Structure 1
Amino acid sequence: MLTIHTDSRGLALAVEGEWIAAAGPLEEVAAEHPRARVRTWPGIITAGFVNAHGTELLEEAYHPDPREADVLGTEPLTGDALTALDLDDARWGASARRGVQRMLAHGTVAAACELPLRNRAVRDAVRRTGLRAVGRLGRPDWAPSLDPFVSPLPPMTQSARERGSAARFAVFDVRDEAELAERGAGTCVATVVAGRLVFRRR
């Protein structure tokens, strides 16, 4: 079913399958697709982001289960704390799924990684969620963060928002791009990957 996503500025994207079927003002897109379901979001629709630290956040960190929070906390564990856990494939896979969900909750649709991903459980978890793993040269020289805006460089984006491009975008509850840069990607309210709504803030 074709779905139109629209934001507070009246920008609309009509999504059919994995692709953007139309883009422009809501009135024009809705007139072109009068039977489409319309989802109205607060804030602005943007292209989805690329997290520069895919390897560090998915293969070199453990994302605790909420049920482990009293012992392990809620932040990703790395270094000696990670080594002490002695993780099996099942826990690595579960950690990667939680890590991907946390990325999606920050408008991330792709992660820059050292390819190929070495851990099969992580590789399978990434593939199943639809997050795109893209190659990179070298390691970023700033601390890993789930927020693509915590970077000395402007965040990289994936996919245009125009007819015929891949439906990989995010929505942030801010007035404009300047407020998004100031407040960061924690303002994400929805993320769409391959045409599917994979994250929605309740």
Structure 2
Amino acid sequence: MNKAVFIDKDGTLVKNVPYNIDPARMMVEPGAVEALTLLQQNDYLIVVVSNQGGIAKGYFTEKDLMKANSHLAGMLAEEGVFVDAFYYCPHHPDGIIADYATKCSCRKPAPGMLLRAAQELQIDLSESWMIGDILDDVEAGHRAGCKSILYDVGNETEWVLDRFRNPDHKITNLLKAADIICQLNYNKVLEHEPAPESV
């Protein structure tokens, strides 16, 4: 089984520009490239999971989004970072496009995107993490069985906490998030290594 880091897109991986699919306005968050590089060096899959209610609201199409995701993947690849998969939820209960105007099981805080990725990519969710900038990301991660890190840069405004929405860690720097994940994984490996034989 693989281990993965699920990462939110808008506001976490890239600057939070609402409903943005314009490549010219797409900027990677500080520390994101370094963080993802470190995670990949430690054998984590990188899986982007994002709510894209703008599709349901008619602001852009799935084809537009896929072009934007492809551009983002190219930007990261130029830096030596390779995204293993993009998953997105096109639904929103207040949408105007009938096919997408629904309450679903994939829109975060529901865990559907993570569960689907786990099945398709052979991911052990108990060994995986969710990083996002709002508590809906934290909740989706916990409901899927992952550990969570809140990228606390002011995008969460409601702070409604419960057992699913309480992050395991809060950071303001994505490289720090990667450091935490890799260090905890290293410690776990050490715990399971057999003790040296006595002479």
Give the structure-2-normalised TM-score: 0.30
Which structure features the higher share of strand residues?
1
The structure, 1 or 2, with the larger RCO (C-alpha pairs under 8 Å, 6+ apart) is 1
